[in-house]
Structure 1
Amino acid sequence: MTAQNKAVVRRFNKEIIEENNLESFKEIMDPAFINHTAMPGMDKGAAGMLHTFNNILRPAFPDLKVTIYEQVAEGDKVTTFKIISGTHKGTFMGIPATHQPVSIRVMDMVTVRDGKYYEHWGVNTMAALVAELKAINSAEK
C-alpha cells in the first residue's frame, strides 16, 4: 500500500502542480480534504490548494517544475522532500518579475485514503524566497 500511496503523491506533484491537470485534481482530491498548514486566511480545502497553484505560483513562475528528491511512506502517510522551481516571470506576492531562477524547498506529509489526498501538512521556504526576490528587485531599482 505504501508504494501505491507514494505513486499518488508523485502523480499529484507531476500532474497537478507541474502540469495543471484539472481532471487529475478532481480525481486525486478527496471531497473532505484539509490542508492543515494553509496560509492564514486561505481556504483549507481543495479549492485553497488549487488557488495557491493557479493564482499565486503559476502566474509568477509559468515554467513550474517539481523535483522529488525523497519520499518516505508508512501506513497512510507519505512524506516528500521536493523542490518547486521555475523562473520569476510574473508578479509574486506583490514583487514584479525579476526573471531570475527560483526554487522553493518543500517538506510535506500527506494522508492518502482510498487513493486520494485526504490531509496535508507542509513546511516550505516561500518566505525566504519572498525576501530574496525583494532584495533583487530593490537592487535593480
Structure 2
Amino acid sequence: MTLTEDSASLVRRMYEEAWNAGRLEVIDEICALDYVGVGPYGNEIGPESVKRGVFARQVAFPDIHVTIEDIIQAGDKVVARLTFRGTHQGEFQGIQPTGKEVTWTGIWIYRVANGQFVERWHNYDMHGLMEQLESTQT
C-alpha cells in the first residue's frame, strides 16, 4: 500500500469502525502514542484523549453516525470532510437531552507518519449544532 492508500484507510477506520461501530480500541491502533489533536474547543493528547472525546459524543448522541463526504490526500496529510448525525439523548456542552435529531459538519486534517495519525487539526460547525440543540422548535 502507498502512503495515500494507508492515509485514506486510517480515516475510514476512525469514522466507520471507531465512531460508527463503537470500536474505540481501533483508536489505539491508528493514533500514535504522541498524537496531538488541535481544535477550537480544546486539544487531545494521545489515543486515550481521542477515545474520551469519541465516547462523550456517543453518550450524548447514542445513535451518532458519521458520513465521510470526501477524503483528500496530499503528501503526509489527509483531509476528511465529514457529516455527523445523531439524536441528542445525553448531556452535551451543558445542554440536557432534548431528543432532537441534529446534523453538523466539519473538516479534519490529519498528518500521518509510520502508518498512524500523529497530528490533527479540525473545525466544525459548533454554532450550528448548538443552535439546533437550543432551538425551541422541534
Change (3 A) 1:4 1:58: same
Aligned length: 136
SS of equivalent residue, structure 2 residue 51: helix
After TM superposition, give the deviation of residue 38 of structure 1 in Å.
Answer: 5.8
Structure 1: gaps of 5 or more residues: none
C-alpha distance in 1, partners of 2:121/2:47?
Answer: 13
Provide TM-score, normalisation by structure 2. 0.88
Provide TM-score, normalisation by structure 1. 0.86
Asked if residue 8 in structure 1 is aligned to residue 14 in structure 2, the reply is no
Instruction: Tell me the residue number matched to 1:19.
Output: 21
Instruction: Tell me the residue number matched to 1:46.
Output: 47
Instruction: Tell me the residue number matched to 1:120.
Output: 120
C-alpha distance in 2, partners of 1:123/1:44?
Answer: 17
Structure 2: gaps of 5 or more residues: none
After TM superposition, give the deviation of residue 47 of structure 1 in Å.
Answer: 2.7
After TM superposition, give the deviation of residue 99 of structure 1 in Å.
Answer: 1.5
Larger fraction in helix: 1
C-alpha distance in 1, partners of 2:26/2:48?
Answer: 14
Encode CA deviations 1:26-76: one digit per residue, 9 max, x unaligned: 111101100122623x54333332222112x11110011110111110111
The answer on whether the counterparts of 1:66 and 1:82 sit within 8 Å (CA) in structure 2 is: yes
CA RMSD of the aligned region, Å?
Answer: 1.8
Map 1:98-109 onto structure 2 (within 5 A): 98-109=98-109
Change (3 A) 1:134 1:87: same
Matched residue type, 2:6: Q
SS of equivalent residue, structure 1 residue 9: helix
The answer on whether the counterparts of 1:66 and 1:83 sit within 8 Å (CA) in structure 2 is: yes
